C-alpha cells in the first residue's frame, strides 16, 4: 500500500495548529497569503504545523485582535505543543510555506508573514531546512511530521481566489466553556 493511502490525514485551517508523533500522519492545509510553519524534532519523532493569517505582535493582540490569527501566538503554541510531546528546542528544525501575493491591489501581507516566520525562527535559533514562500498562487501543503517530508501543489487562479475568500473570513473561535460549578453559601 502506498504512503498516501495509509496516511492518517489531519487538516488545519487558519488559526489552528496540530502536533503528531504518528509516522502515518500527514497534516495538510491550503495557503494563500497565510503562512504555515512546519516544525519537527527528528530524534523525538514528533512534528507539527501551524497556519497563521497575520504576523502580529503582542500589541496587536492586546488591542482586541483574535490571537489565533497571529503568527507570534501560533508559533509559541506549536513550539510548546512539540515540547509537551518530548521534543527538545535545540533539535527543532523548520520548513515554511505560503505567503503568496494573491491580490495585486492589496498590501503584501504574504511577504510580511514569510518575513515574520523567518525572523522568528532565526531569533529562536531554529534552523530553516526548507522554504517555499511568495509567488502569486496559493498552494496546498502536506507535511509528514515524523519524517519531515513536505509536498506542495500550486493552486489555479480560481482555487487561489477561493482561498483568498476563505482567508478573509473571521477565524472560528471555540465556544467558551460553560461554568457548571455551583457555589453554596
Higher-scoring residue by pLDDT: 185, 108: 108
pLDDT at residue 145 above 70?
yes
Residue 4: pLDDT band (50, 70, 90) is: low
- The class level of CATH for 3-156 reads alpha beta
Residue 128: pLDDT band (50, 70, 90) is: very high
- pTM, entire model: 0.79
pLDDT digits (tens, 9 = 90+) for 18-36: 999 999 999 999 999 999 9
Q: Which residues are catalytic?
A: 34
pLDDT at residue 164 above 60?
no
Higher-scoring residue by pLDDT: 88, 68: 88
Per-residue exposure over 135-160, b if at least 16 CB sit within 10 Å of its own CB, e if not: eebbbbbbbbbbebebebeebeeebb
CA–CA dist 59, 36 (Å, integer): 22
Residue 185: pLDDT band (50, 70, 90) is: very low
CA–CA dist 109, 102 (Å, integer): 9
Beta-bridge mates of residue 11? 28
pLDDT at residue 146 above 60?
yes
What are the residue ranges of helices labelled H in the chain? 3-6, 58-62, 71-84, 109-124, 157-167
Residue 108: pLDDT band (50, 70, 90) is: confident
The full set of domain ranges for the chain reads 3-156
Question: How high is the pLDDT of residue 66?
Answer: 57
Amino acid at each position: 500500500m502506498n504512503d498516501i493511502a495509509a496516511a492518517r490525514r489531519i487538516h488545519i485551517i487558519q488559526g489552528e495548529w496540530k502536533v503528531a508523533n504518528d509516522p502515518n500522519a500527514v497534516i495538510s492545509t491550503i495557503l494563500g497569503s497565510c503562512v504555515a510553519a512546519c516544525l519537527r524534532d527528528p530524534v523525538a519523532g514528533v512534528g507539527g504545523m501551524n497556519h497563521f493569517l497575520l504576523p502580529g505582535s503582542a500589541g496587536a493582540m492586546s488591542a482586541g485582535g483574535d490571537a489565533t490569527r497571529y503568527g507570534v501566538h501560533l508559533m509559541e503554541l506549536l513550539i510548546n505543543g512539540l515540547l509537551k510531546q518530548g521534543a527538545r528546542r535545540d533539535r527543532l528544525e523548520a520548513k515554511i510555506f505560503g505567503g503568496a501575493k494573491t491580490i495585486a491591489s492589496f498590501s503584501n501581507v504574504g511577504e510580511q508573514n514569510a518575513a515574520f516566520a523567518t525572523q522568528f525562527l532565526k531569533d529562536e535559533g531554529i534552523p530553516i531546512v526548507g522554504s517555499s514562500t511568495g509567488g502569486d498562487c496559493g498552494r496546498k501543503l502536506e507535511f509528514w511530521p515524523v519524517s519531515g517530508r513536505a509536498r506542495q501543489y500550486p493552486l489555479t487562479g480560481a482555487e487561489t481566489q477561493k482561498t483568498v475568500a476563505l482567508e478573509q473570513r473571521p477565524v472560528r473561535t471555540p465556544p467558551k466553556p460553560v461554568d457548571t460549578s455551583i457555589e453554596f453559601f
